[in-house]
Amino acid sequence: MQRTLSSMEYTVDEESIALISRALAHPVRVRILKLLAGETCCFTGELTGLIPMAQSTISQHLKALLDAGLIQGQIDPPKVKYCINADHWLLAQELFMGFFGQGAADGCDCD
Amino acid sequence: MQRTLSSMEYTVDEESIALISRALAHPVRVRILKLLAGETCCFTGELTGLIPMAQSTISQHLKALLDAGLIQGQIDPPKVKYCINADHWLLAQELFMGFFGQGAADGCDCD
DNA sequence: TTTGTTCATCGGCAATATACGATTAACCAA
DNA sequence: TTGGTTAATCGTATATTGCCGATGAACAAA
């Protein structure tokens, strides 16, 4: 995410929405989240069976979701369990609700 | 958005969420949407006065939002009015509500 | 027609994202 | 200790993104 040289400052919410959106910006990550949200839990190994991508690639996508705080992992050697990070999930939900809930209601004379 | 060689197919919703998320994945675009949604009505390229970026850069960001269907433009020579695309905005809202509304409620044995 | 205004698009550069195979790290079991 | 299993990380190639200045297109006004 390249930034301009000029000092452009964003609010925490703006940054948060952008950060979470980046995590959701690839359909396979949306798919993974759906799988994790549906099932109680999941191993990485099971995902490799469900998603036709290299194991390393899936691991990268999981890392992206981890970095965004949308999921969490728990080591259960030699496997790793991944699941939705409920707290952050709720925060993200509220964040997007607030964002999409704003404006666009009072019409626009472009129509 | 590079795709795997293997035939990975996604649902319409998954693709839509990824597409809209890509549009929201940069804080300046979130800011622009807030500005457009916040002001009573349409906005023009006075955005260049509010955002310390080159005019061409802002135009590119507007195009990204246009392509995602989140905003719409109306030519009013020599200016262009932009505003939230209310219809698509509502669809996006419902899409994300449905997405964030799923799962994460029935707990997870990772905790 | 000429000039001025506004916005989109082009070209170029640097940074990031995505994919893969290969390797490494961690751990259990024999 | 040795071997097997699982997942993260490394290295690399390619595609995309983001920024800018410069140019082009469209149109109103003089």
pLDDT at B43 over 60: yes
User: Is B74 near strand D, with its CB below 7 A from some atom of it?
Assistant: no
Mean per-residue pLDDT of chain B: 87
CA distances from A84 to A52, B5, B77, B104, B105 (A): 22, 28, 49, 6, 10
**Residue B79 belongs to domain with CATH number:** 1.10.10.10
Q: Is residue B79 part of a domain?
A: yes
Q: Is residue A86 part of a domain?
A: yes
User: Is B64 near strand C, with its CB below 7 A from some atom of it?
Assistant: no
Domain assignment of residue A67, given as a range: 12-95
- Contact call for residues B17 and B11 (beta carbons, < 8 A): no
Q: Is residue B25 part of a domain?
A: yes
Q: Is residue B87 part of a domain?
A: yes
pLDDT reported for residue B67: 97
pLDDT reported for residue A29: 98
Q: Is residue A106 part of a domain?
A: no
Nucleotide nearest to B25 (CA to C1'): D17
Q: Is residue B19 part of a domain?
A: yes
pLDDT reported for residue A103: 66
pLDDT reported for residue A5: 41
pLDDT in tens, B47-74: 999 999 999 999 999 999 999 999 999 8
Is the pLDDT higher at B8 or at B81? B81
